[in-house]
Structure 1
Amino acid sequence: MFSNEQISSYNDLELSIYNYISQNMEKVAYMRIRELADETHVSTATILRFCRKNQCEGFSEFKVKLKMLLAQHKRKSTKTLKSPHHAVYEFFERSQNPELEEKIRTAAQLVSTASSVIFIGTGSSGIMAEYGARYFSSLGTFSMYINDPQFPVHAKIRENSVTIALSTSGENPFILPHLTQIKQEKNKIVSITNNRQSTIAKISDINIPYYVNEEYYESANITTQFPVLFLLEWMAREVSKHE
């Protein structure tokens, strides 16, 4: 509901309706269509067109979806923050799995044969991408990071490169087009995600999943990044063995 694509398609009247709704969501969820039309100074027909543009047959369906969105926000905002210890301890126990060790070794072998290493991520994953590039470079593997997927990367740099993609959800819409281009150029992709069934995981040559419970506080994803940090350092140390 209210995706960036939808918002960008609004005309001036629709944008004024959206602005009013976004600032009065709890009130609008219980309004009649005439009341909303009066508050936003538009016709009921305009309200109905706005609803249809947001994939709702009418104002009643729109209010149902709005109430669902409010309930979702309430669950996130009232969620008690848990100690990170449990998730981290569980991950470290799983890190002893031979399958994970083999994935790290295989990824390290792939990275060691590449001419360049490019880290990519946004948000918290972007911070991890910057850290990964610095850590790999410190151990002798020159790397760069991209936290803006529109950042131009020269074809010579991409040639014989390995891209290490970081994404908690594995569905980052800004990273996916970049990875698709890399795939078409037949360069290699290693991804670290929280789920091996995600889109980014599936298009990667090697995916390293870490499986911790995703956590949100209000609208922010606060899922721990400790596993990513650990996996990056482990991989970098394995790569250094091939130098």
Structure 2
Amino acid sequence: MALFNFTDLSSLSDVELTVYRFVVNNPEKVVYMRVRDIANQTHVANSSVMRFIHKLGFGSFPEFKAYLKNINQTVATRHIFTFVNQNNFLPDIENKIRLVADLLYQSDNIPLLGIGNSASTAMYAARILALLGFNAFPITDPFYPLNKQLENTSNNTILCFSVSGETEELIEQLNYCTKRPDNQVVAITSNPTSTIANISKYVLAYKEQKQRLFKYCDLSSQIPAMYIVEALAQVLISKNQDLTNENKAQQ
């Protein structure tokens, strides 16, 4: 079994968890270590290290190290000067961005949801929208009572950032919020057929390979999502300029 697919951490003893944390935090070092080196670093017995390795599903220590070496090399060689281009987006992305920009322009409130790495993107997008004069605010706590906050409001557009589109906490939030017709959802995701995409009125999809190291370390790039945020901002800036010019012309 691959290390990053090991989900039953509760089956590990305290000693095995110590070894697990050391390996997860030092994969590039472990590939050059011996069993007794790992045991010394984690202050456990050699036999405890081997029990941990067997519990993960590896038949031997060399097999375990070979897997780690392959993972390290794969991570090190991905996304080196691989820049985002038109191939990262679906053909209709520009039309959808204009539609979503129109929706945002008319919205009274714009909550932006995202957790994990997507939380940073949500915060960045909220700041940009706030600078443009919109009542935009990030929600990065998956248990934040957003539905209650929006209870007495109207004309809300929720921007949801999720690489997988299957984040359970976000799905639960959106299911509550979409029970009211005043709340509309826009998904920014790499999975246009995901649960979050299906909940949403519009989907701004991009192509990005999901990458994880040791299951919980998400290495998926946020750059395509940032491109979409910047594109939305440019359309909204243009709308503000058009409105300013129109007002000047009427004076």
State the TM-score, normalizing by the size of structure 2.
0.67
Pair 1:185 & 2:208 matched: no
1:4-43 alignment runs, 5 A limit: 7=10, 18-23=13-18, 27-28=50-51
| 1:235 aligned residue (215, 232, 235) | 232
Pair 1:113 & 2:106 matched: yes
1:1-243 alignment runs, 5 A limit: 1-2=6-7, 7=10, 18-23=13-18, 27-28=50-51, 63=55, 66-67=57-58, 74=68, 75-81=70-76, 82-86=78-82, 88=83, 91-94=84-87, 98-153=91-146, 154-156=149-151, 159-186=154-181, 187-218=183-214, 219-243=216-240
- In the superposition, relative to structure 1, how do residues 73 and 96 fare at CA in structure 2: closer, same or farther (>3 Å)? closer
Q: Report the Cα offset of residue 136 of structure 1.
A: 0.9
Question: Which whole-Å deviations, capped at 9, do the CAs of 1:170-198 have from their partners, x for residues lacking one?
Answer: 11122111111112123111011112122
Distance 1:72 1:162 in 2: 48
Distance 2:198 2:101 in 1: 19
Contact 2:90/2:205, CA 8 A, preserved across alignment:
no
Contact 1:215/1:222, CA 8 A, preserved across alignment:
yes
Contact 2:187/2:203, CA 8 A, preserved across alignment:
yes
Contact 2:88/2:207, CA 8 A, preserved across alignment:
no
Contact 1:163/1:188, CA 8 A, preserved across alignment:
yes
Contact 2:189/2:205, CA 8 A, preserved across alignment:
yes
Identity %: 22
Q: Report the Cα offset of residue 83 of structure 1.
A: 3.6
- In the superposition, relative to structure 1, how do residues 217 and 104 fare at CA in structure 2: closer, same or farther (>3 Å)? same
- In the alignment, structure 2 segments of 5+ residues that lack a partner are 1-5, 21-48, 241-251
Distance 1:209 1:136 in 2: 20
- In the superposition, relative to structure 1, how do residues 158 and 217 fare at CA in structure 2: closer, same or farther (>3 Å)? farther
Contact 1:139/1:237, CA 8 A, preserved across alignment:
no
- In the alignment, structure 1 segments of 5+ residues that lack a partner are 8-13, 32-62
- In the superposition, relative to structure 1, how do residues 172 and 3 fare at CA in structure 2: closer, same or farther (>3 Å)? farther
C-alpha RMSD over aligned residues: 3.0
Distance 1:173 1:67 in 2: 31
Distance 2:227 2:66 in 1: 32
Distance 2:66 2:194 in 1: 22
- In the superposition, relative to structure 1, how do residues 30 and 123 fare at CA in structure 2: closer, same or farther (>3 Å)? closer
